[in-house]
């Protein structure tokens, strides 16, 4: 066994068998076992070093025994070894794969026509090419059966399945993270519970500048149809979370209010539309019309 296969094949094969077995036996989730458990990586490395060391030691032993042989025995041994290693000789393998024949045999290959001195050789197809060709025929048959006869999943179907799975995953995620609203996805809340929560947030944070009934003071009237920074839930949400124009006094509330709270208070602000505040501040900005 040791003499049948050269070390440069034997060591990687042993190593891969051990690494594969570890991968199979150790439960490491989606990751490789040696990534999940760095200790295993060390074990593998030590194992590799041991394999290499074992090769060196065996080689040394063999060398000692070889030296003890008689000259004829040495020669016989060498010849046998050379014969065994022939099938691993890369040059020989290459020559076989290319199917080339030595120049000395070219005479037998020449075809018997001659175009103004240009002669043609009747070389065989290189085996690597020929067998790749056969393999491609077998592959094509499998491919055709899979995709065209048994209606296998093509890229479009694969894409759609993946997109569907991703969509479900996003929905699942959003369910567990309701604070995901932003100015793009925000919708007007109309349920009494939400409006009441919005009102409470308003009383705590906004009343000082916009008055308890939204009539305005330092800040503009929020009950009229006029908006400086745009009306509608998206604009109002954006104004509250990002703040007004610099220096006007309306800060960005996103640092102190959660997105859902901004959504609630924005919905409350919009519920003030059409009410008549006690001391309405004069209208500022444009009348807002939803496109
Ligand atoms: C320190 C005073 C102050 C506080 C507190 C304040 N605002 Fe304002 N707000 C303003 C000012 C000033 C403006 C005008 C900003 C501008 O002109 O850019 C404004 C603008 C707005 C606008 C846009 C109005 C328009 O016409 O476009 C909305 C909506 C608004 N505030 C809501 C709120 C909400 C909700 C709160 C509480 C979370 C709040 N504000 C707290 C001062 C304040």
Looking up residue 262, the CATH number of its domain turns out to be 1.10.760.10
Domain with 67, as residue range(s), is: 7-88
74 and 23 inside one domain: yes
The pLDDT of residue 113 is: 84
In a domain, 96, yes or no: no
Q: pLDDT tens digits, residue range 36-71? A: 888 888 999 999 999 999 999 988 998 898 888 889
Ligand 1 centroid–CA 194 distance in Å is 20
204 and 169 inside one domain: no
In a domain, 182, yes or no: no
7 close to ligand 1 (CB < 6 Angstrom): no
Ligand 1 centroid–CA 248 distance in Å is 9
Over residues 178-196, mean pLDDT: 86
169 and 197 inside one domain: no
287 close to ligand 1 (CB < 6 Angstrom): no
205 close to ligand 1 (CB < 6 Angstrom): yes
| Rounded Cα gap, residues 55 and 13, in angstroms | 14
181 close to ligand 1 (CB < 6 Angstrom): no
In a domain, 205, yes or no: yes
| Rounded Cα gap, residues 3 and 105, in angstroms | 34
Ligand 1 centroid–CA 220 distance in Å is 7
| pTM reported for the whole predicted model | 0.51
107 and 79 inside one domain: no
138 and 109 inside one domain: yes
Atom 40, ligand 1: which residue's CA is nearest? Answer: 206
In a domain, 183, yes or no: no
Between 31 and 231, the more confident residue is 231
163 and 82 inside one domain: no
- Give the number of domains in the chain: 4
Asked whether the predicted pLDDT for residue 1 surpasses 60, the reply is: no
In a domain, 93, yes or no: no
Domain closes at, from 88, 121, 136: 88
73 and 108 inside one domain: no
Inter-helix orientation angle 232-242/259-271, to 10°: 130
Taken in order 55, 56, 57, 62, is the CA torsion positive or negative? positive
269 close to ligand 1 (CB < 6 Angstrom): yes
Atom 8, ligand 1: which residue's CA is nearest? Answer: 250
158 and 204 inside one domain: no
Between 281 and 124, the more confident residue is 281
252 and 171 inside one domain: no
243 and 164 inside one domain: no
In a domain, 17, yes or no: yes
Q: pLDDT tens digits, residue range 89-101? A: 888 888 888 887 7
Ligand 1 centroid–CA 253 distance in Å is 10
With CA atoms as reference, report the closest residue to 279 among 227, 206, 213: 213
Question: Concatenated DSSP letters for 46-70?
Answer: HHHHHHHHHHHHHHHHHHHHHHHS-
236 close to ligand 1 (CB < 6 Angstrom): yes
Strand partners, 287: 226
Q: pLDDT tens digits, residue range 192-214? A: 999 999 999 999 999 999 999 99
In a domain, 258, yes or no: yes
Domain closes at, from 35, 58, 88: 88
Domain closes at, from 88, 121, 141: 88
The pLDDT of residue 256 is: 92
Report CA dihedral (212, 213, 218, 224) to the nearest 10 degrees. Answer: 160
244 close to ligand 1 (CB < 6 Angstrom): yes
Ligand 1 centroid–CA 210 distance in Å is 7
Q: pLDDT tens digits, residue range 205-252? A: 999 999 999 999 999 999 999 999 999 999 999 999 999 999 899 999
206 close to ligand 1 (CB < 6 Angstrom): yes
135 and 160 inside one domain: no
222 and 161 inside one domain: no
227 close to ligand 1 (CB < 6 Angstrom): yes
Choosing from 195, 219, 239 the residue with most ligand 1 atoms within 8 A of its CB, the one to mutate for a pocket test is: 219
Atom 23, ligand 1: which residue's CA is nearest? Answer: 229
The pLDDT of residue 9 is: 86
According to the per-residue pLDDT averaged within each range, which of 119-128, 135-144, 182-191 is highest? Answer: 135-144
In a domain, 169, yes or no: yes
Atom 12, ligand 1: which residue's CA is nearest? Answer: 219
119 close to ligand 1 (CB < 6 Angstrom): no
| Rounded Cα gap, residues 91 and 97, in angstroms | 10
């Amino acid at each position: 066994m040791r003499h049948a296969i050269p070390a440069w094949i034997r060591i990687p094969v042993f190593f891969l068998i051990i690494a594969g077995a570890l991968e199979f036996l150790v439960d490491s989730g989606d990751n490789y076992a040696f990534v999940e458990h760095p200790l295993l990586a060390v074990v593998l490395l030590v194992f590799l070093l041991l394999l290499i060391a074992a090769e060196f030691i065996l080689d040394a032993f063999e060398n000692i025994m070889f030296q003890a042989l008689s000259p004829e025995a040495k020669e016989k041994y060498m010849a046998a070894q050379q014969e065994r290693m022939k099938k691993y000789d890369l040059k020989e393998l290459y020559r076989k794969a290319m199917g080339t024949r030595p120049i000395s045999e070219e005479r037998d290959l020449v075809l018997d026509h001659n175009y103004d001195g240009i002669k043609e050789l009747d070389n065989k197809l290189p085996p690597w090419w020929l067998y790749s060709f056969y393999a491609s025929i077998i592959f094509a048959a499998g491919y055709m059966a899979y995709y065209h006869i048994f209606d296998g999943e093509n890229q479009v179907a694969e894409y759609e399945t993946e997109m569907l799975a991703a969509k479900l995953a996003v929905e699942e995620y959003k369910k567990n993270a309701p604070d995901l609203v932003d100015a793009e996805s925000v919708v007007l809340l109309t349920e009494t519970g939400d409006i009441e929560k919005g009102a409470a947030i308003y009383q705590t944070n906004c009343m000082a500048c916009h008055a308890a009934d939204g009539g305005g003071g330092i800040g503009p009237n929020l009950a009229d149809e006029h908006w400086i920074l745009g009306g509608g839930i998206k604009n109002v949400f954006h104004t509250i979370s990002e703040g007004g124009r610099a220096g006007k006094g309306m800060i960005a509330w996103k640092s102190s209010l959660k997105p859902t709270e901004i959504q609630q208070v924005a919905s409350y602000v919009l519920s003030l539309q059409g009410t008549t505040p006690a001391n309405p501040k004069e209208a500022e900005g444009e009348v807002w019309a939803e496109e």
